Amino acid sequence: MKNHFAKKILVCLLSAVLLLLSCSFSLAKTGPLEENYDGWYPAFLSFTQIDEKGEPVVVVDENNPWGETVTFPVWRNNKAVAQTGAVYDRKTNTLTLTDFNHPDYVLSANMMGDDLTLQINGTCALARISVWGDGWGGSLHLTGKGTLTVNENRLFDSGLIFYPEGVEKLDFSVDASVKLNLFGKETAFEVYGYEDGFQATVGGNQLPMNKKNAVREQYVWVFGYSYPMEENIRSAKNKADPEGIYNLMEWENDKGEKFVTVERYVHVEKYDLYLVDEAWIQKIAGEGAGEVRFASLEEAAAAGFTPEKDKNGEYVWLSVNTLGNRGSENIYVAADGKQYVVGYAKNDKGEYGDVAMTMEPIAEIPDAYIFTYAPGVDPESLTEKTVTVTRDDVFDYAFPDKEFILHIDTSVLLGDVNGDGSVTAEDARFALRAAVGLDDTAEGLDFSNRGNRCYVAANVDGEEGISAGDARLILRAAVGLETLG
């Protein structure tokens, strides 16, 4: 819960700073944000290792009984950390990958500025690239003279994803010298919160982004509550609300700075659960605030909040059932129209995996739900529900194409599969063999990678995969009945 509040207050503070800057002068957000908040530096650049299912690899040992995700940072806590084949230079805000062949690594960048550059040397591979703006940049520029293949195994719906999060400018550019092979199960390229100001160029050419055709319908997101947990909260009194249930906690960051937070709870008798009163936080601390904070116990007392003590002068601690896993969930719908959410939990057989859960609204808290496991409902049978909503916390999804390679070597002659400089019946034969899965690596032709020259030359119809239709078009071109490209 502390992290939840810290994230919200960070966003609130950062938004206020950016608003002040925008009112006074225009400031390019170059380089990673180097401010820290209570000892936490939000800007980072790191790799996360994933397994064959696309899930983060977690190591559990005696030092990490709850498990720790395997990550390899290259910029963290305002310090660069060199990894084999991956070196970050703060002065130029450039991450250089050299023969960095890690199709099981996700590259994540958060608040790294408008000028983040990824230099590609040699042959490189990643599972995915995720770029967060969070009010500070969020653009990406690819340069170098190498090849980068992303998400070739289609572990993710998209190989490259941007989360602008309110930034005014978002650019994605790829130099003509870079060969970028970008894949996805649904789309190669995706943008959350699609904005008119978004620019994407490949090899110096504008990448068309038609908002009307590129934006998926909006999803409703709800604040989710999935499981109760027992929590000890220190009881506090509020002079203005003597019957209310309050929690007053003292905190200290890694710099030794102390502060106090106050929460108000609403008791839901039906479930014997205590929910944080988010509306009260907004009323006391202002719209968008994540917590009510004071500099000291004395300041909190001056505002009417004091910790409750027993007859021995000891603080009173309440052991209550609260709700965890607070966050947002997509709504799914079954064929019969019933609504569900999908979460990762244990089913009735004791197996962990995706499960469907019913969602019951909590009358006491707007947009809050109790999620209950629904045995017998297969998550794969559900579809995401699209509805018209007026809430502010919705995301748009941008889908320029289902699947594409952003940059292809323009020297490739379409139809010239064997690379001898002309289109012949022999090329049609090789394309047909590729279509039926025959191996021609002995002939120097490898069709396993969609970025390989022979694959690009054989895939002449623009449809996914090499087919007999491609071979037919190549044969027609060889005898002068067809023009390719």
Tokens coding 77: 């806590």
Dist CA 171 CA 200 (whole Å): 6
Q: Quick: pLDDT tens for 377-394.
A: 888 888 876 554 333 333
Helix (H, G, I), strand (E, B) or coil at 305: strand
Tokens coding 471: 């071979």
pLDDT given at position 20 = 35
Helix (H, G, I), strand (E, B) or coil at 53: coil
Q: 340 φ, ψ to 5°?
A: -140, 165
With CA atoms as reference, report the closest residue to 266 among 359, 364, 367: 364
**If residue 357 lies in a helix (H) or strand (E), which one and from where to where?**
strand 352-361
pLDDT given at position 89 = 95
pLDDT given at position 192 = 73
The terminus-to-terminus CA distance of the chain in angstroms comes to 57
Q: Are strands 160-163 and 128-132 parallel, antiparallel or unpaired?
A: parallel
Mean pLDDT of all residues in the chain?
78
pLDDT given at position 225 = 52
Rounded to two decimals, the pTM is 0.52
Tokens coding 365: 């808290």
Residue of 388 and 171 predicted with greater confidence = 171
With CA atoms as reference, report the closest residue to 14 among 192, 161, 133, 162: 133
Sequence letter at residue 227: Y
pLDDT given at position 26 = 36
Sequence letter at residue 167: V
Across the range 107-123, mean pLDDT stands at 95
Q: State the CB neighbour count (10 A cutoff) for residue 368.
A: 21
Dist CA 300 CA 260 (whole Å): 7
Across the range 334-339, mean pLDDT stands at 84
Q: Quick: pLDDT tens for 390-416.
A: 333 333 444 444 455 555 455 678 899
